[in-house]
Amino acid sequence: MTGKYDIIIIGAGPGGLACAHELGNSNSSVLVIEKNEIIGPKVCAGGLKNLDKDFKLPVDKIRTFLQEDYVTKYKSYTLNLEKPLRTISRYDLGQYQLKMLDGLDNIKIMTGVKVKEIKDSQIITSAGDFSFKYLIGADGSNSMVRRHLGLETKSCIGMYYEISGMTDTVIWHFNPEEIMAGYIWAFPHLNSTNMGIFFNPEHLSPKVAKKVLHDYLDDRNINYAGCKYQTAAISHHYDGCEFNNIFLVGDAAGLALRTNGAGISFAIVSGKEIARKILKPDYKMPELAVILNYKKRQENLFSFIERIPFIQRPAYRMMLNLMKKKWFQKRFGSYF
Ligand SMILES: Cc1cc2nc3c(=O)[nH]c(=O)nc-3n(C[C@H](O)[C@H](O)[C@H](O)COP(=O)(O)OP(=O)(O)OC[C@H]3O[C@@H](n4cnc5c(N)ncnc54)[C@H](O)[C@@H]3O)c2cc1C
């Protein structure tokens, strides 16, 4: 198979699908290529904050939380959230975004097709070669488009179990002595609870992190035997998203937060912004600027703490206390 498209998007995750939606009904022909047969499933805890108010998730597929429990060795407290946390399975999110593309005749989606190579104005895939005017890398943390551009990738890691049975409390467990800036989470979903650990491999090896997670679950008599275990990297190093006729969105652009691994809403916003930029080259991408500012503020705060080793642990403890303050949540977010 061969074909010519104005815009090719590699990857039908939240970033690629949001980008395609924004390009819908334009004069550009758009091809979205996804290597998986089914759109949606991805190693992810499915927690969402900072979503655009126009992005209305299907109410029967989500859970909404207005409070989170923060637990440390020293104290625990319940935080009232400025913005609610929602949870959704990645299958449901992907299928919901896919449905939004119904009836957009200029968008073609190919699933079960892997992009193998990128050449000048052409991609080589498992289903043939396709040429493009613009290429969008929405291909996640292990982005081949990013590698093609010669950009460095830095990643954190998340690992979790999908524990059967529904719970009702969002938990963030901090233990700077063991996991430094990382944390253990419990995100309740509709029929299960996603419990995992987020960490920076510069501070903790995956082997130790897995043991910390197991100890946490064992100490609380949480049975994870036979539960689905998943792990993946989360790319967080941003180096720009416009490179002549090649663009990056979401994790491929390194937009996830190094501080907590959140990246879904940033993938969606960046996907939309890049689409608008391609359609209108003098568009300034103000929503992307807001995300980048937020990411920079959070990461600068962490870098400041990390630079002075002997204050790290008390500083993390102080930060956990500050998160209770509304002004702090506004400026730096609650943890997520
Ligand atoms: C353990 C874990 C937990 C997480 N929890 C959360 C959370 O609770 N909340 C949150 O906001 N974020 C979370 N994240 C981060 C979140 O998953 C990502 O930020 C988000 O999925 C990024 O979206 P994206 O569209 O950029 O990329 P992706 O969702 O990774 O989508 C990329 C798509 O590209 C496809 N693709 C890749 N290569 C090719 C190729 N060569 N050819 C064709 N297709 C290709 C992939 O199959 C995939 O469908 C978590 C991440 C991990 C690892």
Contact in structure between 52 and 268 (CB atoms under 8 Å): yes
Task: Give the residue with greater pLDDT, 300 vs 186.
Answer: 186
Q: Which domain holds residue 68?
A: 47-88+154-234
Rounded alpha-carbon distances, angstroms, from residue 237 to 141, 180, 181 = 10, 19, 17
Residue 111 and residue 259 in one domain: yes
Residue 335: pLDDT band by 50, 70, 90 thresholds? Answer: low
Q: At 307, which helix (H) or strand (E)?
A: helix 286-307
To test the pocket of ligand 1, the residue of 9, 32, 33, 35 to mutate (highest count of ligand atoms within 8 Å of its CB) is 35
Domain-located, residue 242: yes
Render pLDDT for 60-83 as a digit per residue (tens, 0 to 9): 999 999 999 988 877 788 988 878
For residues 297-317, give the mean pLDDT: 76
Residue 163 and residue 55 in one domain: yes
Domain-located, residue 285: yes
Render pLDDT for 74-119 as a digit per residue (tens, 0 to 9): 778 898 887 889 999 999 999 999 999 999 999 999 999 999 999 9
Q: How far is the CA of 41 from the centre of ligand 1 (A)?
A: 9
Q: How far is the CA of 93 from the centre of ligand 1 (A)?
A: 12
Residue 218 and residue 252 in one domain: no
Domain-located, residue 332: no
Residue 164 and residue 15 in one domain: no
Residue 277 and residue 167 in one domain: no
Render pLDDT for 13-52 as a digit per residue (tens, 0 to 9): 999 999 999 999 999 999 999 999 999 999 999 999 877 7
Residue 241 and residue 230 in one domain: no
CATH assignment at residue 284: 3.50.50.60
pLDDT (0 to 100) of residue 47: 95
In the chain the beta strands, taken as DSSP E runs, fall at: 2-10, 30-34, 47-48, 63-71, 76-87, 107-111, 115-119, 122-125, 128-137, 155-164, 171-173, 183-188, 192-199, 228-235, 242-243, 246-248
CATH assignment at residue 190: 3.30.9.10
Domain-located, residue 141: yes
The structure tokens listed for 97 are 């975004």
**Residues 6+ positions from 96 with CB-CB distance below 8 Å:** 57, 58, 61
Tally of domains within the chain: 2
pTM for this entry: 0.95
Residue 103 and residue 225 in one domain: no
Residue finishing a domain among 234, 249, 280: 234
Domain-located, residue 330: no
Strand-pair partners of 130: 3, 123
Residue 158 and residue 303 in one domain: no
**Residues 6+ positions from 113 with CB-CB distance below 8 Å:** 33, 34, 35, 125, 126, 127
To test the pocket of ligand 1, the residue of 93, 251, 270, 295 to mutate (highest count of ligand atoms within 8 Å of its CB) is 251
Rounded alpha-carbon distances, angstroms, from residue 183 to 14, 108, 204, 318 = 24, 40, 12, 15
Residue 158 Cα: closest atom of ligand 1: 1
Distance CA 254, CA 149 (A): 13
For residues 219-233, give the mean pLDDT: 95
Contact in structure between 155 and 234 (CB atoms under 8 Å): yes
Query: SS in 3 state form for 143-169?
Result: CHHHHHCCCCCCEEEEEEEEEECCCCC
Domain-located, residue 329: no
- How many C-beta atoms surround the C-beta of residue 205 within 10 A? 11
Domain-located, residue 133: yes
Residue 167 and residue 132 in one domain: no
Residue 241 and residue 303 in one domain: yes
Distance CA 249, CA 7 (A): 14
Residue 181 and residue 303 in one domain: no
Give DSSP secondary structure letters for 103-115: T-TTEEEEES--E
Chain mean pLDDT for the chain: 92
To test the pocket of ligand 1, the residue of 162, 195, 234 to mutate (highest count of ligand atoms within 8 Å of its CB) is 234
Residues with C-beta less than 6 Å from any ligand 1 atom: 10-16, 33-36, 42-48, 114-115, 138-140, 144, 158, 160, 196, 232, 234, 250-252, 256, 261-265, 267
Distance CA 58, CA 134 (A): 32
- How many C-beta atoms surround the C-beta of residue 227 within 10 A? 16
Residue 107 and residue 204 in one domain: no
Domain-located, residue 324: no
Q: Is residue 238's pLDDT more than 90?
A: yes
